[in-house]
Amino acid sequence: MTNEALKYILTDWYPDAETVGLQFSEEGSQYLTVSINPTYLHELMATLKANSETSFDYLFCLTGVDWGKELGIVYHLESTTHRHIIVVKVQTEDREKPAFDSVQDIWRTANFHEREVYDFFGIRFTNHPNLKRLFLDVNYEGFPLRKDFEDEVNMIIK
């Protein structure tokens, strides 16, 4: 399926695109990139997987991102049936308590990806069954992949 066909399907699902914050871009990529309001993230993701026209059954990448002012998540989805790929982005300006709906109930592989993002960015995932640190010690303070993170140990050594 082409990017244009995917865009057409999504605008058919969400005819009032502004209400759900639906925006499209291709950013010099071969894949269609979709940005959505966090309120509609879980609904969109579940539909992308369940709908027979899209059948995005494979979440192959879930990445936390610090864009400076906003924190967000970038999801890369593939349909192993139709052989098409889409990128979904979601972001929040809430740096104090950033949170998005978990998609681990849709794709089980998201379970550890979300824990990694929580560990390094401090982004919480609503309805995640086991959201705890994955790599860093439980007592570790801070989120080292945030742009505003200051590593006190390395500051002392310098």
**72-80 own/partner pairs: CB under 8 Å, 24+ apart:** 73/100, 73/117, 73/123, 75/45, 75/103, 76/31, 77/45, 77/48, 77/49, 79/1, 79/54, 79/55, 80/55
154 has pLDDT over 60: no
Of the chain, the end-to-end C-alpha distance in Å amounts to 53
**The pLDDT of residue 143:** 95
Q: Which of the four pLDDT bands, split at 50, 70 and 90, describes residue 28?
A: low
Domain range for 16 is 3-157
Average pLDDT of 13-36? Answer: 84
18 has pLDDT over 60: yes
Alpha carbons 145 and 28: distance in angstroms, whole number: 25
| Each residue's pLDDT tens digit, 112-135 | 999 999 999 999 999 999 999 999
79: domain CATH number is 3.30.460.80
Of 24-33, 51-60, 84-93, 130-139, the one with minimum mean pLDDT is 24-33
| Whole-number average pLDDT of the chain | 92
37 has pLDDT over 70: yes
Q: How many domains does the chain have?
A: 1
| Each residue's pLDDT tens digit, 69-82 | 999 999 999 999 99
